Amino acid sequence: MARVRLGLIGDNITRSQSPRLHFEAGRLSGIDVSYERLIPRDLGLDFDAVFDRCTAEGFRGINVTYPYKEQVVPRLDMPDPLIAGIRACNTVLFSSPRPEGHNTDYSGFIAAFRARFPGETPGRVAMAGAGGVGKAVAFALAGLGAVELRVYDRDPGRVQGLAKALAAAGIAMPVVSCTSMNEAAGSIDGLVNCTPLGMIGHPGSAMTLPQMRGAAWAFDAVYTPVDTQFLQQADEVGARTLSGYDLFFHQGVDAFRHFTGIDVDAGALQRALSGDMREGARQG
Protein backbone atom coordinates (compact mmCIF):
# COMPACT_ATOMS: atom_id res chain seq x y z
CA MET A 1 0.00 0.00 0.00
CA ALA A 2 1.32 3.44 -0.96
CA ARG A 3 2.11 5.78 1.94
CA VAL A 4 1.56 9.54 1.97
CA ARG A 5 2.64 11.91 4.74
CA LEU A 6 0.51 15.04 5.10
CA GLY A 7 0.02 17.75 7.70
CA LEU A 8 -1.71 20.95 8.75
CA ILE A 9 0.01 24.12 9.96
CA GLY A 10 -2.11 26.49 12.04
CA ASP A 11 -2.51 28.10 15.44
CA ASN A 12 -5.87 26.77 16.66
CA ILE A 13 -6.07 23.26 15.26
CA THR A 14 -6.01 20.84 18.17
CA ARG A 15 -9.57 19.76 17.31
CA SER A 16 -9.22 19.96 13.54
CA GLN A 17 -11.01 17.14 11.74
CA SER A 18 -8.61 17.22 8.78
CA PRO A 19 -6.59 14.18 9.94
CA ARG A 20 -9.74 12.05 9.97
CA LEU A 21 -10.93 13.29 6.58
CA HIS A 22 -7.63 12.53 4.85
CA PHE A 23 -7.21 9.21 6.63
CA GLU A 24 -10.66 8.08 5.46
CA ALA A 25 -10.06 9.41 1.94
CA GLY A 26 -6.83 7.42 1.88
CA ARG A 27 -8.54 4.27 3.15
CA LEU A 28 -11.16 4.53 0.40
CA SER A 29 -8.40 5.05 -2.17
CA GLY A 30 -6.04 2.30 -1.00
CA ILE A 31 -3.46 4.72 0.41
CA ASP A 32 -1.90 4.71 3.88
CA VAL A 33 -2.20 8.37 4.91
CA SER A 34 -0.62 9.99 7.93
CA TYR A 35 -1.72 13.54 8.75
CA GLU A 36 -0.09 15.61 11.49
CA ARG A 37 -1.24 18.72 13.31
CA LEU A 38 1.68 21.18 13.33
CA ILE A 39 1.23 24.11 15.71
CA PRO A 40 4.27 26.42 15.51
CA ARG A 41 3.88 27.71 19.07
CA ASP A 42 3.74 24.19 20.53
CA LEU A 43 6.78 23.16 18.49
CA GLY A 44 8.77 26.18 19.68
CA LEU A 45 9.23 27.28 16.06
CA ASP A 46 7.97 30.01 13.77
CA PHE A 47 5.91 29.28 10.68
CA ASP A 48 8.85 29.29 8.28
CA ALA A 49 10.79 26.83 10.41
CA VAL A 50 7.83 24.43 10.54
CA PHE A 51 7.39 24.74 6.77
CA ASP A 52 11.09 24.00 6.25
CA ARG A 53 10.82 20.97 8.50
CA CYS A 54 7.98 19.60 6.38
CA THR A 55 10.12 20.04 3.28
CA ALA A 56 13.14 18.33 4.86
CA GLU A 57 11.18 15.44 6.37
CA GLY A 58 9.51 14.29 3.17
CA PHE A 59 5.91 15.45 3.54
CA ARG A 60 3.94 15.01 0.31
CA GLY A 61 1.90 18.11 1.13
CA ILE A 62 0.37 20.27 3.81
CA ASN A 63 -2.71 22.30 4.44
CA VAL A 64 -2.25 25.80 5.83
CA THR A 65 -4.84 27.53 7.98
CA TYR A 66 -5.32 30.62 10.14
CA PRO A 67 -3.27 32.80 10.39
CA TYR A 68 -0.72 31.66 7.79
CA LYS A 69 -2.62 31.48 4.48
CA GLU A 70 -1.16 34.74 3.22
CA GLN A 71 2.26 34.39 4.85
CA VAL A 72 3.00 31.18 2.93
CA VAL A 73 2.41 32.65 -0.56
CA PRO A 74 5.94 34.06 -1.25
CA ARG A 75 7.36 30.58 -0.75
CA LEU A 76 5.27 29.00 -3.50
CA ASP A 77 4.78 28.64 -7.21
CA MET A 78 1.10 29.04 -8.01
CA PRO A 79 0.36 27.60 -11.47
CA ASP A 80 -3.23 28.85 -11.72
CA PRO A 81 -3.23 32.63 -12.40
CA LEU A 82 -6.63 33.05 -10.72
CA ILE A 83 -5.41 31.37 -7.54
CA ALA A 84 -2.23 33.42 -7.67
CA GLY A 85 -4.46 36.50 -7.75
CA ILE A 86 -6.10 35.52 -4.47
CA ARG A 87 -2.70 35.79 -2.75
CA ALA A 88 -3.72 33.24 -0.14
CA CYS A 89 -3.06 29.51 -0.08
CA ASN A 90 -4.40 26.64 2.01
CA THR A 91 -2.96 23.65 0.13
CA VAL A 92 0.73 23.06 -0.60
CA LEU A 93 2.15 20.23 -2.67
CA PHE A 94 5.88 19.72 -2.20
CA SER A 95 7.42 19.43 -5.63
CA SER A 96 10.62 20.40 -7.42
CA PRO A 97 12.06 22.99 -7.73
CA ARG A 98 9.58 24.87 -5.47
CA PRO A 99 6.45 23.90 -3.53
CA GLU A 100 3.22 24.36 -5.47
CA GLY A 101 0.34 26.33 -3.99
CA HIS A 102 -3.41 25.87 -4.45
CA ASN A 103 -6.52 27.29 -2.84
CA THR A 104 -9.19 24.71 -2.16
CA ASP A 105 -11.13 27.19 -0.02
CA TYR A 106 -11.97 28.79 -3.38
CA SER A 107 -12.94 25.61 -5.22
CA GLY A 108 -14.49 24.09 -2.10
CA PHE A 109 -16.79 27.05 -1.49
CA ILE A 110 -18.05 26.92 -5.07
CA ALA A 111 -18.76 23.19 -4.73
CA ALA A 112 -20.40 23.61 -1.31
CA PHE A 113 -22.63 26.50 -2.46
CA ARG A 114 -23.78 24.62 -5.56
CA ALA A 115 -24.53 21.49 -3.54
CA ARG A 116 -26.53 23.40 -0.91
CA PHE A 117 -28.26 25.92 -3.23
CA PRO A 118 -28.45 24.23 -6.66
CA GLY A 119 -29.15 26.57 -9.54
CA GLU A 120 -28.99 29.70 -7.37
CA THR A 121 -26.66 32.70 -7.40
CA PRO A 122 -25.44 34.61 -4.31
CA GLY A 123 -27.00 38.00 -5.14
CA ARG A 124 -25.76 40.90 -3.00
CA VAL A 125 -23.53 39.71 -0.19
CA ALA A 126 -22.25 41.25 3.04
CA MET A 127 -19.02 39.71 4.33
CA ALA A 128 -17.11 40.11 7.58
CA GLY A 129 -13.37 39.57 7.21
CA ALA A 130 -11.06 40.02 4.23
CA GLY A 131 -8.16 37.81 5.30
CA GLY A 132 -7.00 34.57 3.71
CA VAL A 133 -10.29 32.69 3.66
CA GLY A 134 -12.20 35.91 2.95
CA LYS A 135 -10.19 36.44 -0.23
CA ALA A 136 -10.87 32.91 -1.42
CA VAL A 137 -14.60 33.18 -0.69
CA ALA A 138 -14.79 36.58 -2.42
CA PHE A 139 -13.26 35.14 -5.60
CA ALA A 140 -15.63 32.18 -5.35
CA LEU A 141 -18.67 34.45 -4.90
CA ALA A 142 -17.65 36.28 -8.06
CA GLY A 143 -17.35 32.96 -9.87
CA LEU A 144 -20.85 32.05 -8.69
CA GLY A 145 -22.28 35.29 -10.11
CA ALA A 146 -22.62 37.55 -7.05
CA VAL A 147 -23.68 41.03 -8.15
CA GLU A 148 -22.08 43.00 -5.31
CA LEU A 149 -19.86 42.31 -2.29
CA ARG A 150 -19.89 44.60 0.74
CA VAL A 151 -17.01 43.93 3.11
CA TYR A 152 -16.16 45.03 6.62
CA ASP A 153 -12.74 44.33 8.11
CA ARG A 154 -11.11 46.01 11.07
CA ASP A 155 -8.19 46.66 8.70
CA PRO A 156 -9.59 48.65 5.74
CA GLY A 157 -6.36 47.99 3.86
CA ARG A 158 -7.34 44.35 3.57
CA VAL A 159 -10.57 45.27 1.81
CA GLN A 160 -8.72 47.58 -0.54
CA GLY A 161 -6.25 44.80 -1.28
CA LEU A 162 -9.10 42.40 -2.00
CA ALA A 163 -10.75 44.85 -4.38
CA LYS A 164 -7.45 45.39 -6.22
CA ALA A 165 -6.83 41.64 -6.47
CA LEU A 166 -10.27 41.06 -7.98
CA ALA A 167 -9.80 43.91 -10.45
CA ALA A 168 -6.35 42.63 -11.43
CA ALA A 169 -7.89 39.25 -12.17
CA GLY A 170 -10.39 40.89 -14.51
CA ILE A 171 -13.35 40.32 -12.18
CA ALA A 172 -16.01 43.02 -12.49
CA MET A 173 -17.98 42.27 -9.29
CA PRO A 174 -18.23 45.57 -7.33
CA VAL A 175 -16.57 45.52 -3.91
CA VAL A 176 -17.69 48.10 -1.35
CA SER A 177 -15.48 48.80 1.66
CA CYS A 178 -17.72 49.42 4.67
CA THR A 179 -16.93 51.12 7.95
CA SER A 180 -19.18 48.78 9.96
CA MET A 181 -21.33 45.69 9.59
CA ASN A 182 -24.37 47.96 9.93
CA GLU A 183 -23.32 49.66 6.73
CA ALA A 184 -22.54 46.37 4.97
CA ALA A 185 -25.66 44.45 5.89
CA GLY A 186 -28.46 46.64 4.54
CA SER A 187 -30.65 45.20 1.73
CA ILE A 188 -28.58 42.12 1.03
CA ASP A 189 -29.26 38.53 -0.02
CA GLY A 190 -26.38 36.68 1.61
CA LEU A 191 -24.26 36.94 4.77
CA VAL A 192 -20.74 35.58 5.13
CA ASN A 193 -18.49 35.31 8.17
CA CYS A 194 -14.82 34.90 7.31
CA THR A 195 -13.47 35.99 10.70
CA PRO A 196 -12.38 33.64 13.52
CA LEU A 197 -15.32 34.79 15.65
CA GLY A 198 -17.28 31.75 16.76
CA MET A 199 -14.28 29.42 16.65
CA ILE A 200 -13.11 27.59 19.75
CA GLY A 201 -11.17 30.22 21.69
CA HIS A 202 -12.84 33.10 19.82
CA PRO A 203 -16.43 33.25 21.15
CA GLY A 204 -19.10 35.51 19.66
CA SER A 205 -20.56 36.40 16.30
CA ALA A 206 -19.40 38.77 13.57
CA MET A 207 -22.94 40.13 13.17
CA THR A 208 -25.90 41.01 15.37
CA LEU A 209 -29.39 39.63 14.91
CA PRO A 210 -30.82 42.93 13.54
CA GLN A 211 -28.00 43.11 10.96
CA MET A 212 -28.94 39.65 9.68
CA ARG A 213 -32.67 40.18 9.17
CA GLY A 214 -33.80 39.93 5.56
CA ALA A 215 -30.96 37.69 4.37
CA ALA A 216 -31.92 34.67 2.27
CA TRP A 217 -28.80 32.65 3.07
CA ALA A 218 -25.77 32.72 5.38
CA PHE A 219 -22.37 31.04 5.47
CA ASP A 220 -19.91 30.74 8.35
CA ALA A 221 -16.34 29.66 7.54
CA VAL A 222 -15.91 28.42 11.13
CA TYR A 223 -16.60 24.70 11.60
CA THR A 224 -15.30 24.01 15.12
CA PRO A 225 -17.98 24.04 16.38
CA VAL A 226 -20.38 23.49 13.48
CA ASP A 227 -23.32 25.18 15.19
CA THR A 228 -21.80 28.61 15.65
CA GLN A 229 -23.62 31.53 17.20
CA PHE A 230 -23.63 33.16 13.75
CA LEU A 231 -25.48 30.22 12.18
CA GLN A 232 -27.89 30.00 15.11
CA GLN A 233 -28.73 33.66 14.53
CA ALA A 234 -29.18 32.98 10.81
CA ASP A 235 -31.65 30.21 11.62
CA GLU A 236 -33.53 32.59 13.90
CA VAL A 237 -34.02 35.17 11.13
CA GLY A 238 -35.08 32.49 8.63
CA ALA A 239 -31.96 32.40 6.46
CA ARG A 240 -30.90 29.11 4.90
CA THR A 241 -27.45 28.17 6.13
CA LEU A 242 -24.22 26.82 4.69
CA SER A 243 -21.85 25.67 7.41
CA GLY A 244 -18.11 25.76 7.69
CA TYR A 245 -18.26 21.96 7.78
CA ASP A 246 -19.63 21.99 4.22
CA LEU A 247 -16.69 24.09 3.07
CA PHE A 248 -14.30 21.94 5.11
CA PHE A 249 -15.55 18.77 3.41
CA HIS A 250 -15.43 20.04 -0.16
CA GLN A 251 -12.06 21.77 0.21
CA GLY A 252 -10.71 18.56 1.75
CA VAL A 253 -11.83 16.50 -1.24
CA ASP A 254 -10.08 18.96 -3.55
CA ALA A 255 -6.92 19.02 -1.39
CA PHE A 256 -6.76 15.22 -1.39
CA ARG A 257 -6.89 15.30 -5.19
CA HIS A 258 -3.92 17.68 -5.28
CA PHE A 259 -1.97 15.55 -2.80
CA THR A 260 -2.61 12.18 -4.45
CA GLY A 261 -4.02 12.70 -7.95
CA ILE A 262 -7.08 10.67 -6.89
CA ASP A 263 -10.72 11.78 -7.09
CA VAL A 264 -12.11 10.17 -3.96
CA ASP A 265 -15.78 9.14 -4.05
CA ALA A 266 -17.33 12.13 -2.24
CA GLY A 267 -20.50 10.24 -1.34
CA ALA A 268 -18.57 7.34 0.15
CA LEU A 269 -16.35 9.76 2.06
CA GLN A 270 -19.37 11.61 3.46
CA ARG A 271 -20.83 8.33 4.65
CA ALA A 272 -17.52 7.32 6.24
CA LEU A 273 -17.31 10.63 8.08
CA SER A 274 -20.97 10.98 9.04
CA GLY A 275 -22.04 11.01 12.64
CA ASP A 276 -19.02 10.96 14.90
CA MET A 277 -16.97 13.44 12.89
CA ARG A 278 -19.72 16.04 12.63
CA GLU A 279 -20.54 15.46 16.27
CA GLY A 280 -16.91 16.03 17.22
CA ALA A 281 -16.87 19.26 15.28
CA ARG A 282 -20.20 20.28 16.82
CA GLN A 283 -18.93 19.78 20.33
CA GLY A 284 -15.71 21.60 19.45
Which of the residues are catalytic? Answer: 68
- Asked whether 193 and 219 are in contact (CB, 8 A), the reply is yes
In this structure, the number of other CB atoms found within 10 A of the CB of residue 223 comes to: 23
- How distant, in Å, are the alpha carbons of 104, 109, 149, 270, 271 from that of 267? 18, 17, 32, 5, 6
Name residue 197's amino acid. L
Q: Buried (b) or exposed (e) across 100-133, using 16+ Cβ within 10 A?
A: bbbbbbbbbbbbbbeeebeebebbbbbbbbbbbb
Distances (CA, A) of 121 to 6, 109, 140: 35, 13, 11
Q: Which residues contact 172 (CB under 8 A, 6 or more apart)?
A: none
Q: Which residues have C-beta within 8 Å of that of residue 74, sequence separation ≥ 6?
A: none
